[in-house]
Every structure is written in structure tokens, then in C-alpha cells.
Structure 1
């Protein structure tokens, strides 16, 4: 499977990647100074580059806790926001 040109995530997907956190807890984490800056603000809310978010999670939270994301998986496999995720 070819990787899409952009892997974008919103607050919902970030909450899933962080272990199914509540909207409020996800909001608190995305407001931290160390959290990556959003790349755009849409009518539905802010969006971030998924690779940057996953790198932040790995550095600050011990790695993605979303089950189904494993090393060697095709890009996007099991990730929220992808057709197969």
C-alpha cells in the first residue's frame, strides 16, 4: 500500500493514539508547549502531522498505545484516519 502524501490527525485520532483519552484530556495534552504545532485549522478543528504526533508520543509517553500499530506494518495500517484504520 502506498503511503498518502500527508498523514494528518485531528484531536479524535490523537486521543486514540494516546490510549483512548477523553476529549478534555486530549485537549490538555495538545496545548502543552512541547506538543507539535498544528499545521492547519479547519472548521472541524486543528490538524497535526501524524508523524510528528507519533514521534512526540514515543518521546514523551513511551510510544503509541493504539493497538494495531506495529513496526513493519504498511504505512497507515491500523492508524486512525486511514481507510484501513
Structure 2
């Protein structure tokens, strides 16, 4: 999962906010740093989201 997919998964947050979140010490470590950017295991990111983010209400989904 790249930064764009993380942005989408977190509800379309800004690039800057995505960078802030992915730079947190408690965010999963990237598994690779490619020319296009870092990539993370989707299951690690989904686990982090489940633990740290409030679920979307039905009106937001």
C-alpha cells in the first residue's frame, strides 16, 4: 500500500497529513522505499487504522 492508498483509506486526507501520520513512531515501518515512494504492508496499515482511528459513521461511509 502506497501513500496514495493510505490517503484514500483515511478518507481523502491531505498529502501533508498523510506524511505526518506515516512518520509517526507508532505507524508501521515501510517495507520498501521505491522511486515512487514508500510502501507498507496493507495488513499492517489496516491494523494501525483499526487501533488508532475512529470508525466512519454510516453517513461518512
**Which category of TM-score, normalised to the shorter sequence, fits these structures?**
0.7 to 0.9
Specify every segment of 5 or more residues in structure 2 that has no aligned partner in the other structure, as ranges.
none
Unaligned runs of 5+ in 1: 1-8, 68-85
Give the TM-score normalised by structure 2.
Answer: 0.87
Q: Is 1:30 matched with 2:22?
A: yes
For this pair of structures, how many residues does the alignment match? 58
Does residue 48 in structure 1 map to residue 37 in structure 2?
no
CA RMSD of aligned residues (A): 1.7
Looking at secondary structure, tell me which structure has more helix per residue. 2
Q: Secondary structure at the match of 1:26?
A: helix
CA shift for structure 1 position 62: 2.5
> Considering only CA atoms, is the larger Rg found in Structure 1 or Structure 2?
1
The structure 1 segments of at least 4 consecutive aligned residues displaced by more than 3 Å after TM superposition are none
